Amino acid sequence: MEPPDTNRFDSGRELLKWIALATMTIDHIGLILYPQIPVLRIIGRVSYPLFAYLLVLGMSSTHDPGNYLKRMIYFALLSQLPFAIANEVPIWQHLNIFFTLSLGIILIYLLDRNNILLLAPLIAAVIIPVDYGSYGLATILFLYIMRSSRRIGVILLIALNLLLIPFETTYQPLALLALPIILLHSGGRLMLTNRSEKTPHPLIPRYFFYVYYPAHLLALALIRTIQ
């Protein structure tokens, strides 16, 4: 998986964002409003690997990892109360996905520099109750490995999810459904357009994808209370 060309507008990457957003929303509708409809949770398994992959792409193209991490932590803190309300748990009992992705940023930063401290975020994901836990960090790690060795990365991702089958009750191994989409993008088979005056850039600001997370959780929690 080659690092993205920063002189190109990646419309395929934008498509992945929308797929991740849509499947996450479907997943949370199933979790919060209709837990009796398992197909919603099954569809939702696609979302996290896509977000993890987008994080790897983001780290390969950002010019300021520190600012990227600050932004992620800011929205992690902003989202925690809506996350706790939507999941009906004490506010710090379980931490939202932005905390997981923040650990992912630290992990990739350390990996890029061959720093032995890379074990720290992996251990933190076991100790701290972040969403997806050690599985979430392992997914980011294996997607990172795909940059240099697609075959090894794919094998590790498949093995990770298959190992969950005897223990998992939330359909998480079906996250492998996201793998073909990721491979299409990493193989350059999703449309890439040259950056120019005529190139259509996204109309939705990038912060929309951050703000949407706590906003949709609050909206779903409100709908649950009035049903």
Q: For the segment 154-170, what is each residue's pLDDT rounded down to a tens digit?
A: 999 999 999 988 876 67
Neighbours of 194 (CB within 10 A): 10
SS3 3: coil
Q: For the segment 21-30, what is each residue's pLDDT rounded down to a tens digit?
A: 999 999 999 9
- Residue 5 reports pLDDT greater than 60: no
- Residue 3 reports pLDDT greater than 50: no
Average pLDDT over residues 99-110: 98
Question: Measuring CA to CA, which residue among 218, 211, 209 is closest to residue 55?
Answer: 209
Lookup result for tokens 């491979």:
183
Question: Measuring CA to CA, which residue among 59, 50, 61 is closest to residue 177?
Answer: 50
* Runs of H (alpha helix) within 62-171: 65-87, 97-112, 119-127, 133-145, 150-164
Question: Measuring CA to CA, which residue among 44, 53, 20, 54 is closest to residue 175?
Answer: 44
Average pLDDT over residues 3-8: 47
What are the residue boundaries of the structural domains of the chain, listed by start? 8-226
Q: Between the CA atoms of 149, 49, 56 and 122, what dihedral angle is there, to the nearest 10 degrees?
A: -90
Q: What is the mean pLDDT of the chain?
A: 90
